[in-house]
Amino acid sequence: MDWTALILSMQLAGVTVAVLLPIGIALGRWLAVRDFRAKPLVEALVALPLVLPPTVFGYYLLVAFGAASPLGQIWEQVFGQTLVFSFEGLVLASILFNLPFAVQPIQRGFEAIAPEIREAAACSGMAPLTALRRVELPLAWPGILTAMVLSFAHTLGEFGIVLMVGGSIPGETRTVAISIYDKVQSFDDSGAAQMSALLLVISLVTIALTFAFSRRIGRRLG
């Protein structure tokens, strides 16, 4: 069992969710409430990672942030290490790649709130931020929870991008999915079997918890 890889994956997933949560709420609410001409384009951009092969995404990250690129060189001068093949690089890749998993459920959550409720909050003299905090977020909560769990579980399972930009460095970029791949290639079948089983259980439990949570909350609100 490669505990280092498991902990690393958990950290990657935790950081990803923590960063994505405010982004997802801001973007999701904006897309749910506003209507503008470029909206289909924005929505398409957010949804792109759903259909884009991770290798294509990884390739562009390598091009954009590789040691030869201007962005990569600036990053290296500021932080003293390259963005690709580092934990920070994985975090960036993971945030971008999880956008649809975070934004779409949150957007659905805000869309489900009747406009009258927002108007009533405004009429009662609530400032927009207070209304968001006291009225809208609690109502959109099932969507937000789904977004968090999906991004977390999806990060644990992400393989293609990590393979492209990670380099399988223990404790830095060797995530649990990569470690399983490495174990198969080093003929460590029992190690691969244990970690695969663990990942299967974690995935199942997280998804089952989300369903249970959103049902309970749905009942409470409904």
Select the span of 14-22, 27-35, 109-117, 118-126 touching another protein (CB under 8 A): 14-22
| 77 scored as a contact of another protein (CB under 8 A) | no
Q: How far is the CB of 130 from another protein (least distance, A)?
A: 11
Here's the x/- map for another protein, 47-66, by CB under 8 A: it reads as: ---------------x---x
Options 90, 145, 147, 202; binder of another protein; rule CB under 8 A: 145
The Cα–Cα gap between 143 and 184 comes to 37
State which amino acid sits at residue 61.
Answer: L
**Angle subtended by helix axes 3-33 and 39-51, to nearest 10:** 160
CA-derived radius of gyration, the chain: 20
Cα separation values, 95 from 83, 152, 211, 214, Å: 14, 11, 23, 24
* Comparison of 11 and 203: residue with beta carbon closer to another protein: 11
Q: How far is the CB of 62 from another protein (least distance, A)?
A: 6
| 180 scored as a contact of another protein (CB under 8 A) | no
- Number of residues interacting with another protein: please give it, by CB under 8 A: 42
Q: How far is the CB of 186 from another protein (least distance, A)?
A: 6
* Comparison of 47 and 139: residue with beta carbon closer to another protein: 139
Both tokens assigned to 100: 């649809």
Select the span of 30-38, 51-59, 68-76, 105-113 touching another protein (CB under 8 A): 68-76
* Comparison of 44 and 112: residue with beta carbon closer to another protein: 112
Q: How far is the CB of 45 from another protein (least distance, A)?
A: 25
| Residue carrying structure tokens 């991008």 | 161
The Cα–Cα gap between 73 and 67 comes to 6
Q: How far is the CB of 50 from another protein (least distance, A)?
A: 24
* Comparison of 91 and 199: residue with beta carbon closer to another protein: 91
Q: Any idea what DSSP says for residue 169?
A: -
Distance of CA 170 to the CA centre of its chain: 22
| Residue carrying structure tokens 């958990």 | 10
* HSE value, Cβ hemisphere, 13 Å, CA-based, for 11: 14
